[in-house]
Amino acid sequence: MNTAPDRAAAANAELFERMPVPKAVLKMAVPSVISMLIVLIYNMADTFFIGRTNDPYMVAGASLILPVFNISLSLAGLAGVGGGALISRLLGRGRPDEARKVYSFCVYLCVGCAAAFSLATLAFMRPLMALIGAGPETYRYASRYAFFVIVCGGVPTVLSNTLANLLRSVGESRRAGIGITLGGLVNIALDPLFMFVLLPRGSEIVGAGAATFLSNCIACGYFVAVLARLGPDTVLRLCPPSRLPQRENIAGVFAVGVPSAVTTLLFDLDYVIIDRLMAGYGDIALAAVGIVLKVERLPLNVGIGICQGMVPIVAYNFAAKNYPRMHAVRRYALGLGLACAAVSIALYEAFAGSIMGFFIGDAQTVALGTGFLRARVLATPLMFLCFFHVHLFNSFGEGGYALLLGVSRWLVFNIPMLFLLEHVFGRAGIVWSQAAADTLAMLFSVLVYRHYVRRELG
């Protein structure tokens, strides 16, 4: 039997059901965008401070770990995205008790998966470093950085991001954003302290890793405290592990969570392949593309933040069969994301050289990176459209469609295009592959979405 509606869900009914669409989307999206930007900034802060050493090998070592770190975050997508979208739909159907069980299942799932990933990274550190392209000069830096941010920091990092997604599912986007932002700001503050004050010269990458680990522990502590203060009536309250959700809802978590995790894994596999291919052109080129791959994520993270803000509202109204409001939210979020992508292209084309020079003083690295950045930023609106449609299908609980778009984007278009264009055009082909592949992936995403709408929604 269903319990009385959760107070937090009742308080947010205005947001989900009646608030003007622009206001509702912005209320959910702005905290998500800010937190996504802070996450990116603190990732770039490590690169910035390590770049102050003017040691391309240390920069390359830290850059190599970014895809592996992001793979660990895919575990947060498994539990947080899959569970968050389902919780929103359950609230839209008036089933808060089942939503509470789903929340508990997702928390236990994310902790178990994160711990297993951290232990596997520790056990297979050397072959993992070889797989991602760490050479003799970069191995010692990359392995030290990975020890702190993945082996030690895996559980608090994944749990923080999972809890942020689950908070958004009940309309608590502001609190979710504050937690992620807190972790990022603490990391930015601790980086120079650990790197240049507490540890000796030559240990800067250890300091950056330790700062990241500690900041994620602090963010995780914040989320635990916030959840404790929501009160006994919230759906975000742990149940005993024996109180499992209904079988179809466990399947529903994985139906959306697995495609989200797989899409993230493939996204970062693409980055690993870029690193490995670029490593064949020297460590300077690897350092340059490592910086570019972080910088280009700024507008992409803005777009993902907009999508994260959109998902709970779309999921709620989809479950409630309020399709006019659902489509209005979709259209507004789409226009907002494309406008941000256009602004990013203009800024990056104008200031690419200054942006590269901000991260490292080596003239050759700056020169290579400037050209790389100007080419890759042109794919920004295409990348947003691809992610946008995946998030829409996550909102609907249509994990199969989300998986189709994610797998086809990376395994059919992006990764084969990387190898093809690198073979034909060399280093330039690596840089331009994103725009070429995502043109095809975007067109495919639009066609699949239109087919689904005609067939399922009328």
Decide if pLDDT at 12 tops 70. no
Quote the pLDDT of residue 325.
Answer: 92
Rank 35-39, 54-58, 433-437 by mean pLDDT and report only the highest: 433-437
Lowest-confidence region among 145-159, 247-261, 331-345, 382-396: 247-261
Q: Band the pLDDT of 79: cuts 50, 70, 90.
A: confident
**Unique residue bearing structure tokens 């500690």:** 214
Q: Band the pLDDT of 156: cuts 50, 70, 90.
A: very high
Assign 3-class secondary structure to 398-454. Answer: CHHHHHHHHHHHHHHHHHHHHHHHHHHHCHHHHHHHHHHHHHHHHHHHHHHHHHHHH
Decide if pLDDT at 233 tops 70. yes
Taking the C-alpha atoms of residue 206 and residue 151, their distance in angstroms, rounded to an integer, is: 13
| CA-to-CA dists, residue 344 to 2, 118, 339, angstroms | 47, 35, 9
Could you tell me what percent of the chain has a pLDDT over 90? 26
Decide if pLDDT at 175 tops 80. yes
Quote the pLDDT of residue 388.
Answer: 94
Extract the tokens encoding 415: 């990764």
Taking the C-alpha atoms of residue 237 and residue 215, their distance in angstroms, rounded to an integer, is: 24
**Unique residue bearing structure tokens 């139906």:** 255
Quote the pLDDT of residue 405.
Answer: 92
| CA-to-CA dists, residue 91 to 9, 27, 170, angstroms | 7, 19, 8
**Mean residue pLDDT across the chain:** 84
Q: Band the pLDDT of 5: cuts 50, 70, 90.
A: very low
The radius of gyration of the chain from alpha carbons, rounded to an integer in Å, stands at: 21
Residues 6+ apart with CB under 8 A from 361: 51, 54
- Residues 230-253 have a mean pLDDT of 82
DSSP, res 246? P
Quote the pLDDT of residue 359.
Answer: 77
Quote the pLDDT of residue 6.
Answer: 43
Quote the pLDDT of residue 416.
Answer: 93
Extract the tokens encoding 426: 């060399």
- Residues 283-298 have a mean pLDDT of 83
CA atoms within 13 A on the CB side of 424: 10
Residues 6+ apart with CB under 8 A from 225: none
Of 183, 145, 184, whose CA–CA distance to 63 is shortest? 145
Identity of residue 1: M
Prediction pTM value: 0.75
Q: pLDDT (tens digit, 9 = 90+) per residue, 144-155?
A: 888 888 898 889
- Residues 364-392 have a mean pLDDT of 90
Four-residue CA torsion sign, 169, 175, 235, 257: positive
Instruction: Check: CB of residue 149 under 8 Å from CB of residue 212.
Output: yes
**Unique residue bearing structure tokens 């199969």:** 400
Residues 6+ apart with CB under 8 A from 202: none
- Residues 54-79 have a mean pLDDT of 76
| CA-to-CA dists, residue 281 to 207, 270, 289, 417, 427, angstroms | 29, 17, 11, 18, 7
Widest distance between CA atoms in the chain:
67
- Residues 234-244 have a mean pLDDT of 81
Taking the C-alpha atoms of residue 428 and residue 187, their distance in angstroms, rounded to an integer, is: 35
Quote the pLDDT of residue 131.
Answer: 76
Decide if pLDDT at 1 tops 70. no
SS3 400: helix
Instruction: Check: CB of residue 395 under 8 Å from CB of residue 85.
Output: yes
Q: pLDDT (tens digit, 9 = 90+) per residue, 305-335?
A: 899 889 889 988 888 888 899 999 999 999 9
Lowest-confidence region among 107-116, 355-364, 429-438: 355-364
Lowest-confidence region among 78-92, 134-148, 222-236: 134-148
Quote the pLDDT of residue 11.
Answer: 57
Lowest-confidence region among 97-101, 111-115, 170-174: 170-174
- Residues 184-196 have a mean pLDDT of 87
Lowest-confidence region among 72-86, 146-160, 206-220, 329-343: 72-86
Quote the pLDDT of residue 3.
Answer: 44
Taking the C-alpha atoms of residue 125 and residue 59, their distance in angstroms, rounded to an integer, is: 19
Taking the C-alpha atoms of residue 197 and residue 425, their distance in angstroms, rounded to an integer, is: 45
Identity of residue 68: V
Quote the pLDDT of residue 2.
Answer: 43
Could you tell me what percent of the chain has a pLDDT over 70? 95
- Residues 396-419 have a mean pLDDT of 89
Quote the pLDDT of residue 43.
Answer: 67
- Provide the 10 A C-beta neighbour count for residue 384: 25
Extract the tokens encoding 219: 């963010």
- Residues 434-445 have a mean pLDDT of 94
Quote the pLDDT of residue 380.
Answer: 93
